[in-house]
Structure 1
């Protein structure tokens, strides 16, 4: 081969390697015990490349990402490329198991279903104990899809000392419109007899608390999603109350194509809010 041509091919190969990011995040599955429910549940933890290769004392912000109804802790990594976001934004991603139809609440009718306590307190405590996290609300965010979108907002509202930011993707933000969802009455109770609980749990009923607790908020739903109207109503209520938040509607429905794209914007939103906490925790080390 012509030496000049060989050199050009080598140069092109090097440039392609430089231009194409190498994703070196680590994915682990850990069993996280629940005292509240007397058992352990698996969770997926994605660590950014810098966690292993960078400063051994550096600490990282955490984004908790919840699955939807009928899903599990494997959903996000199986159906999206969410792991790349750990490397891109230097965050730890945690995807806990929230049961099939738990709605991430502490059920008033089923004492065995304590998923808000589990995800909002027990999982957070375990992750902070076993990984190099920045264990402050300013470096901790929670989001999720569908049922997980509701759960993320509900947990953040009920635990503002734990989470400084929250998001929802295609969120079932008002359970009162989901009475036909299989299994929902097993955790919420009867929609007539227990109507007050259903009303209180609707995110719109607590919308003002996002502003009062200074929770950074981002909401995203597809224009072809059956849940878009309840998301619009929540957005309108937040605007009416003067609560700062990001709101987006994009083409798409209740699908992984939509969710795997939307989560990129949500983690970007959270990462922007983490900067001050990261600098305070690590200084020039990051």
Structure 2
């Protein structure tokens, strides 16, 4: 039987990007150990592959929560379905229960994100390092981590997403922070550098005019136990006098994936990474 060269790639199916999924175990210099990160990269399934040595994708660094790990967004969220048509890389690093800080009695996870993940991911994959192409976001612990990393490094990001998180300190928050499991872990990972005082960081940046070129997306469900902390951070943003590109959203919802899967597309649209009105309905995504 004769074989027609390239016939597979000439099918009548509609061409669309899909995502390649890679798990990368690499040595993290700031932790002194091997650690995984998961990566989604654009892949054109219905085209014959061609070399693209100069391709550099915009990138979203997506940070997991306190009880999750680097696999959680792949297993529980719609992130791959949301970005599959667009030239965007998504990097999902492992951070254990670190709080994304430099622990006084353990590892330097803040430094690891900045000096290992954000250096090695572009070394390994076709990912841009330009600030205008770089976004960071997370949920719960990851949302606080994303905000903390961005406010301490305000010229490195074009957008920051903080889902179900805010200012969480004594007198603000919920019984989520008083459970024995959480307080025991928090005492082990307590840290002082870099600053984790989000209000102080914001007010210092506000003194020099704010961050008009950085988009901040902030959300929380009104039934979420972290809603008081979200409100505290929201109110700080609203009190700032400089130029800020800040959007906050809230609706009935709890600290769960139903809520986060509702807001992930809204966050990506606000960042301009997917078009407005595209795939905002999870039923449309799945069916």
**CA offsets, 1:116-172, max 9 Å, x none?**
111122101011111112211111010001000000000111222432321111125
Q: What TM-score do you get using the length of structure 2 for normalisation?
A: 0.77
In 2, the alpha carbon distance for the partners of 1:172 and 1:32 equals: 31
Q: How does 1:90-239 map to 2 (within 5 A)?
A: 90-99=87-96, 101-107=97-103, 109-110=104-105, 112-176=106-170, 177=173, 178=177, 180=179, 181-182=182-183, 183-188=185-190, 197=192, 201-208=196-203, 209=205, 212-213=210-211, 214-239=213-238
In 1, the alpha carbon distance for the partners of 2:230 and 2:50 equals: 40
Q: Which has the higher helix share?
A: 1
In 2, the alpha carbon distance for the partners of 1:170 and 1:139 equals: 24
Q: How many correspondences in the alignment?
A: 247
In the TM superposition, residue 32 of structure 1 has moved relative to its aligned partner by 2.9
Q: How does 1:73-88 map to 2 (within 5 A)?
A: 73-88=70-85
Cα RMSD, aligned residues only: 2.8
Q: Is the contact between residue 142 and residue 165 of structure 1 (CA under 8 Å) also seen in structure 2?
A: yes
Answering whether residue 58 of structure 2 is matched by residue 64 of structure 1, we say: no
**CA offsets, 1:45-72, max 9 Å, x none?**
0012259957713221000111100211
Q: Is the contact between residue 16 and residue 44 of structure 2 (CA under 8 Å) also seen in structure 1?
A: no
- Residue 250 of structure 2: SS of its match in structure 1? strand
Q: Is the contact between residue 50 and residue 90 of structure 1 (CA under 8 Å) also seen in structure 2?
A: no
Q: Which has the higher strand share?
A: 2
Which of 42, 47, 59 is equivalent to 2:41?
47
Runs of 5+ unmatched residues, structure 2: 1-11, 275-287
In 1, the alpha carbon distance for the partners of 2:266 and 2:114 equals: 23
- Residue 65 of structure 1: SS of its match in structure 2? strand
Distance 1:251 1:88, change over 3 A: farther
Q: Is the contact between residue 174 and residue 203 of structure 1 (CA under 8 Å) also seen in structure 2?
A: no
Q: Which moved more, 1:123-132 or 1:176-185?
A: 176-185
Q: Is the contact between residue 17 and residue 86 of structure 2 (CA under 8 Å) also seen in structure 1?
A: no
Distance 1:23 1:88, change over 3 A: closer
Q: Is the contact between residue 25 and residue 46 of structure 1 (CA under 8 Å) also seen in structure 2?
A: yes
Distance 1:50 1:240, change over 3 A: farther
In 1, the alpha carbon distance for the partners of 2:109 and 2:74 equals: 21
**CA offsets, 1:21-59, max 9 Å, x none?**
856211110013211111021011001225995771322
Q: Is the contact between residue 147 and residue 172 of structure 1 (CA under 8 Å) also seen in structure 2?
A: no
Give the equivalent residue in structure 2 for 1:252: 253
